[in-house]
């Protein structure tokens, strides 16, 4: 399928790369772009040749937020009727295969929120994260007040949301927002390498592991532990558990069948 605002590439080793591609607007997330993203993710979800998705932007901007120019004249009723943000944006949060945000440059507002919807964030050393919505007379609307607070805690989240202050990559790593900081020139290669590593394992296992970790954000600890245990038990009903453990015992590489 042809897209205008994103580039979708299937790499080797079961990795797909989605590049946000509106450089003239620092990858501002227009309704057209987010619809294309949701459509592409829908296709990649069904694609057996893809196990992991890497989402990236340009060196200057992962994404500078929702498209302010497209949004500025909308009324309350427009927003409400369109259920603005949730419908298409959340597709990345609901995607069942692992996702990696490779963030260079600005990840602001909706850009930061989109990165946080991914399963992990790898940051280039020039990355800047922020929720500057307060500076344009609104507040985060795609999970910024909720996800950012869970990642970095109340005090820092409050400071960022209430002042619009940006966080650099080093502070973002120290605060738990990103898993690693990488020189900008190496970011994409490193993100793809990480994706390939994940994709080399059993697809059902990586999907279950993702689901179990995400469950930690939704339920009390005891319920999460119970859920994890039941999922762990269920892995013993798969051919890949048999293969993985036998391969270990036989000192050979496992050949997973995704079954």
Ligand X SMILES: CC(C)(O)CC(=O)SCCNC(=O)CCNC(=O)[C@H](O)C(C)(C)COP(=O)(O)OP(=O)(O)OC[C@H]1O[C@@H](n2cnc3c(N)ncnc32)[C@H](O)[C@@H]1OP(=O)(O)O
Q: Which residues bind ligand X (CB under 6 A)?
A: 25-26, 28, 64-69, 85, 106, 108-110, 113, 132-133, 136, 140-142, 144
d(CA 167, CA 144) in angstroms, rounded, equals 14
| 54 bridge partner residues | 17, 100
Q: Count Cα neighbours of 159 within 13 Å in the Cβ-side half-sphere.
A: 8
State the Cα–Cα distance between residues 123 and 182, nearest whole angstrom: 6
Answer for the pair 156, 175: CB distance below 8 angstroms, yes or no. yes
Nearer to ligand X, 152 or 206 (CB): 152
Beta bridge partners of 63: 107
Residue 136 vs 245, nearer CB to ligand X: 136
Smallest distance from ligand X to CB 95, Å? 18
Residue matched to tokens 């994409």: 188
Nearer to ligand X, 68 or 184 (CB): 68
Rounded to the nearest whole angstrom, what is the least distance from the CB of residue 36 to ligand X in the complex? 17
In angstroms, give the least distance from the CB of 65 to ligand X. Answer: 3
Rounded to an integer, what distance in angstroms lies between the CA atom of residue 170 and that of residue 248?
Answer: 38
- Residue 21: partners with Cβ closer than 8 Å, 6 or more residues away: 5, 6, 7, 27
- Residue 87 CB, shortest distance to ligand X, in Å, is 13
Q: Which is nearer to ligand X, 24 or 155 (CB)?
A: 24
Catalytic residue positions, numbered:
66, 110, 113, 133
Give the Cβ contact number of residue 30 at 10 Å. 18
């Amino acid at each position: 399928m042809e897209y205008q605002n994103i580039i979708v590439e299937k790499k080797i080793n079961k990795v797909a790369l989605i590049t946000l591609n509106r450089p003239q607007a620092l990858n501002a997330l227009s309704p057209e772009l987010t619809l294309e993203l949701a459509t592409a993710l829908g296709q990649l979800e069904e694609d057996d040749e893809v196990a992991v998705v890497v989402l990236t932007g340009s060196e200057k901007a992962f994404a500078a937020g929702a498209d302010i120019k497209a949004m500025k004249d909308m009324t309350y009723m427009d927003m409400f009727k369109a259920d603005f943000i949730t419908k298409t944006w959340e597709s990345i949060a609901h995607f069942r295969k692992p996702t990696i945000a490779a963030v260079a440059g600005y990840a602001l507002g909706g850009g930061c929120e989109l990165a946080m919807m991914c399963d992990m964030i790898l940051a280039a050393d020039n990355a800047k994260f922020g929720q500057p919505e307060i500076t344009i007379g609104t507040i985060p609307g795609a999970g910024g007040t909720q996800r950012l607070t869970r990642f970095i805690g109340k005090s820092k989240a409050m400071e960022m949301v209430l002042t619009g202050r940006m966080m650099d990559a080093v502070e973002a790593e120290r605060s738990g927002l990103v898993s690693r900081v990488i020189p900008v020139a190496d970011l994409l290669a490193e993100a793809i390498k990480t994706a390939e590593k994940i994709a080399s394992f059993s697809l059902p296992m990586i999907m279950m592991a993702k689901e179990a970790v995400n469950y930690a954000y939704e339920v009390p600890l005891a319920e999460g532990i119970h859920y994890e245990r039941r999922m762990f038990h269920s892995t013993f009903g798969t051919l890949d558990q048999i293969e993985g453990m036998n391969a270990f015992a036989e000192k050979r590489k496992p050949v997973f069948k995704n079954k």
